Amino acid sequence: MRLARCRSVALVGVRGTVVDIEVHIGGMPGFTLVGLPDASLAEARDRVRAAVLSSAEQWPLQRITVSLSPAALPKRGSHFDLGVAVAIIAAAEQLPAGSTAAVVFLGELALDGRLRPVPGVLPAVLAAASSGSSQVVVPEANVDEARLVPGVSVLGARSLRQVLAVLRDEPVPDEPAEPVAQAPAPDPLEIPVDLADVAGQQAAKRAVEIAAAGHHHLMLTGPPGAGKTMLARRLPGLLPDLTTDESLEVTAIHSVAGSLPADRPLVTRPPFADPHHTASVVSIVGGGSRLVRPGAASRAHLGVLFMDEAPEFGAHILDALRQPLEHGEIVVSRAEATMTFPARFLLVLAANPCRCGNHRSRSRDCTCTPEAIRRYGQRISGPVRDRIDLRIAVEAPTRATLDEGLGSAEPSKIVAERVNEARERQRRRLADTPWRVNGEVPGPVLRRDLRPPARSLGPLHESLGKGQLTARGADRVLRVAWTIGDLAGNDTPTRADMLEAVGLRIGRPG
């Protein structure tokens, strides 16, 4: 009887669990893989056998039983290939005893023994470090990502032959490097943009600044060409850099999603996601039948999720965002497992006033009937609208505005400094709480511990009395009022701050 063991990691959502790969060799020739493998992992038998033979190693001519433990945990992905191959060679007594027991192996094998990069390396290495493992072997292309985790020794290899040479303490053979793909052209959304590019639109710019300062969801309504998309794409530039912990959390999501650029292993700026209105609900909230991955809402975690032409999205897609808007996470349930993806994003919706976009236009005629206008506005459901803090009508700029506004517009750098100062005030005020920005503070805490002075609440009470606000809306007005006060340097919201917050909530900014 011959046994060997090494380790790998199973990913469920963006969380990893260390898995023991145990191999037993003995009996009539055959290959059995147990431990709830998915289809891509079940195919590892053929990839591993070809890679071992291509590496000039002997394939045991006996029954090989590979067990992935814990057995009740679903195992998905081809990154188990390297661990299975090493454990089989160790069980065949072709590696020094004990050389593999404490090492975590990640990597997909090509048929010629080369190691191919795999997604999800960062959360896998984080899980390995949490379990006490200090040695990890990954494909060379994943080394920079793996080395983001402190306290872990990372070996990057190009092939199975190199890994075996290191385990045997032999000279490492030289292997040709994988061809490096040419760096893609810069994404238009990633080219630096500045708020100074937007002429006029002072009320909308003010709303964008408040949204960035307090993490408040925003809705921009106006005709085509008014600048709604320009404003939304400049919002991430007003947000502060991610902290180290936040960077690791966001990078782990993008690693699992397979959207992490090879030349930028660490995400340091708030992400921006703008799915098209034809996107499916799975592509927005995450999921999948065989391989469950994060959707656009999770890829926008700690950043901005922009939904242009919001009424054109399916109602079920917009309603699916209610959970992350309230709880900051998305739960995807499948028969085999339930996965939780972080999704604490700042939502920006952009919408035309009607299908043709010319309703209330001063220069163009609207061709929509009153009933069509009403139906178009109702495509964003009441519960979703009720979770939007700021609502701004963006008017089409005039020629005079375009000529005069660009020269005097504030650059993003100046606005970002005010946003940072306001966020610093929030951090100090909320230092002993689980929250860091006003947009996260629950309503009961606002009413009990952060209640503004009675003299400031008049505009809020008047709007409640007129039926312009719901109870949830009143809580959101309080959050926005605190942010406006923080931007102004006030210790508590003033009546003017509250009046502006009410106007931004009901769509009539003061």
What the block records as the tokens of 505 is 């909530």
Where residue 206 falls (left for φ over 0; alpha for ψ -120 to 50; beta otherwise) is alpha
Q: What is the pLDDT of residue 79?
A: 95
Could you give the C-alpha distances from 110 to 70, 114, 179, 255, in angstroms and in order?
Answer: 27, 5, 14, 21
Question: Positive or negative CA dihedral for 428, 432, 433, 435?
Answer: positive
Q: How far apart are CA 396 and CA 199, in angstroms?
A: 11
Write down the pTM of the prediction: 0.88
- Compute the distance between CA of residue 36 and CA of residue 443 in angstroms, rounded to an integer: 44
Amino acid at position 477, single letter: V
The domain ranges of the chain are 2-167, 195-398
Tokens 């959207």 belong to 259
248 burial (CB, 10 Å; 0-12 / 13-18 / 19+) is: middle
Tokens of 93: 């007594």
Give phi and psi for 235, each to the nearest 5.
Answer: -65, -45
Q: What is the pLDDT of residue 177?
A: 79
Q: Which of 509, 502, 508, 510 is nearest to 469 (CA)?
A: 502
Task: From first to last of the 510 residues of the chain, give the pLDDT tens digit.
Answer: 589 999 999 998 888 999 999 999 998 999 999 998 888 788 899 999 999 999 999 999 999 999 999 998 889 889 999 999 999 999 999 999 889 988 999 999 999 999 999 999 999 999 999 999 999 999 999 999 999 999 999 999 999 999 999 999 999 999 887 765 554 454 544 567 899 888 888 899 999 999 999 999 999 999 888 889 999 999 999 999 999 999 999 999 999 988 887 778 899 999 999 999 999 999 999 887 667 789 999 999 999 999 999 999 998 999 999 999 989 999 887 766 778 899 999 999 999 999 898 887 777 888 899 999 999 988 999 889 999 999 999 988 777 666 665 567 789 999 999 999 999 999 999 999 999 999 999 989 988 899 999 999 999 999 998 888 888 889 999 999 999 999 999 999 999 999 999 999 987 655
3-state secondary structure of 34: strand
> How many whole angstroms separate alpha carbon 219 and alpha carbon 227?
13
Give the residues across from 10 on adjacent strands.
Answer: 17
Which among 184, 185, 160 has a CA at the least distance from the CA of 172? 160
Check: CB of residue 482 under 8 Å from CB of residue 450: yes
**Res 118: pLDDT:** 94
Measured CA distances, 478 to 20, 437, 442 (Å): 51, 13, 10
**Tokens 């238009």 sit on residue:** 188
d(CA 91, CA 129): 25
Q: Which helix (H) or strand (E) holds 307?
A: strand 304-307
d(CA 135, CA 152): 6
Torsion of CA 398, 402, 407, 408, to 10 degrees: 30
CA–CA gap between residue 83 and residue 476 (Å, rounded): 51
User: Does the domain at residues 2-167 carry the CATH identifier 2.60.40.1730?
Assistant: no
What angle (nearest 5°) sits at the alpha carbon of residue 395, between those of residues 392 and 399?
150
SS3 track for 362-380? CCCCCCCCHHHHHHHHCCC
Beta strands, E only, 96-152: 103-105, 108-109, 115-116, 135-139
Q: What is residue 183's predicted lDDT score, i.e. its pLDDT?
A: 47
Residue 420: burial class (beta carbons within 10 Å; 0-12, 13-18, 19+): middle
Domain 195-398 in CATH: superfamily? Answer: P-loop containing nucleotide triphosphate hydrolases (3.40.50.300)
> What are the angstrom distances between the C-alpha of 499 and each of 268, 457, 460, 504, 509?
36, 9, 7, 9, 9
Q: What single string gives the DSSP state of each residue in 171-191?
A: PPPP-PPPPPPPPPPPPTTTS
